[in-house]
């Protein structure tokens, strides 16, 4: 008799859990649609210490400048010391606070050493922006094993090494924000950048996994994660971009992309960087079935052509 009661109880519980799931799913879908049109208010970054990798050029440089103008202290990391120091100098010239460190983010030991220097000289960072990346453009069979290893060292493993240094700090402080540069190619792959696409899918998986791990059981609710998916950005990485409708779908400038990333950081949202931040077609397209996405991509004929590098 007790066994029958328990079975009935489990069935009733399952039904209520399912109804709760359906209710929450519909509520969250409506909430997501509402936020697409009416984004949440922005938070302040005044006094925050922001570490940005690849700060010497492109999106990293623009992020450094724009976040500094909002009152954040910027720690610039780049293997290119000259360009990195130029970013630092430009921030200081505008009255902001910035510090530069040369660092090969693919080296676990170098990341550890530089991170310790930052702690001693500046303090514990509160926002980590994993931005450094490379993008060789050629067919998969033309990539050497060394090419592929280099892509994953810069685009993926560097994220792990930085996170291993700073995520424990965020957990200890009970707050923090991790920003990771993935790509549209980390949501929908394209030709001539197959290892790059794989590396950006990996970044997306890393961030999704961290979100789940940090939120499980209500742990670390004040550690935020923002994954960024830029379209083709004019940073020099994509040497020969191919766009069928350039007037409708132009290449994103580094400044525009950074503006959208900063907005995502301030609103603690995932970011899809598009040429016109007020155009929602790219975002809505991501919700379409896979075969419809493929058909849309065929129609748009947008991608990257081969380039020897």
At 279 the pLDDT is 45
**Cβ atoms < 10 Å from Cβ of 144:** 9
Domains of the chain: 42-304 (3.40.50.720)
Catalytic residue flag (residue 9): no
CA distance 77 to 56: 8
Catalytic residue, chosen from 9, 99, 196, 216, is 196
Q: Which residue has the tokens 């399912």?
A: 18
> Block means of pLDDT (10 residues each) for the chain, length 309 residues?
78 78 71 71 93 96 97 97 97 97 97 98 97 92 96 98 97 95 86 93 93 79 90 66 59 85 88 54 48 55 55
Planar angle of CA 107, 113, 117, nearest 5 degrees? 140
């Amino acid at each position: 008799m007790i066994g029958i009661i328990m079975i009935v109880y489990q069935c009733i519980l399952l039904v209520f859990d399912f109804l709760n799931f359906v209710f929450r799913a519909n509520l969250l879908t409506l909430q997501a649609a509402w936020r697409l049109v009416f984004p949440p208010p922005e938070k302040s970054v005044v006094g925050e210490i922001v570490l940005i990798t690849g700060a010497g050029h492109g999106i990293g440089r623009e992020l450094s400048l724009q976040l500094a103008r909002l009152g954040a202290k910027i720690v610039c990391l780049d293997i290119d010391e000259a360009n990195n120091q130029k970013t630092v100098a430009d921030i200081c010239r505008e009255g902001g606070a910035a510090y530069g460190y040369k660092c090969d983010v693919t080296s676990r030991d170098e990341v550890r050493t530089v991170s310790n220097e930052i702690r001693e000289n500046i303090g514990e960072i509160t926002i980590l922006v994993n931005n450094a990346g490379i993008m060789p453009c050629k067919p998969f069979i033309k990539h050497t094993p060394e090419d592929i290893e280099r892509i994953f060292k810069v685009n993926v493993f560097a994220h792990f090494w930085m996170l291993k240094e700073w995520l424990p700090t965020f957990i200890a402080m009970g707050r923090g924000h991790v920003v990771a540069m993935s790509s549209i190619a980390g949501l929908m792959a394209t030709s001539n950048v197959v290892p790059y696409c794989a590396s950006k899918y990996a970044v997306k998986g890393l961030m999704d996994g961290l979100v789940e791990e940090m939120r499980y059981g209500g742990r670390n609710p004040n550690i935020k994660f923002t994954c960024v998916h830029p379209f083709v950005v004019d940073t020099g990485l994509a040497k020969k971009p191919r766009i069928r409708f350039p007037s409708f779908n132009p290449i994103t400038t580094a400044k525009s992309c950074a503006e959208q990333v900063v907005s995502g950081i301030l609103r603690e949202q995932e970011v899809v960087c598009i040429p016109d931040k007020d155009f929602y077609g790219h975002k809505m397209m991501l919700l379409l079935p896979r075969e419809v996405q493929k058909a849309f991509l065929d129609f748009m004929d947008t991608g990257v052509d081969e380039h020897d590098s």
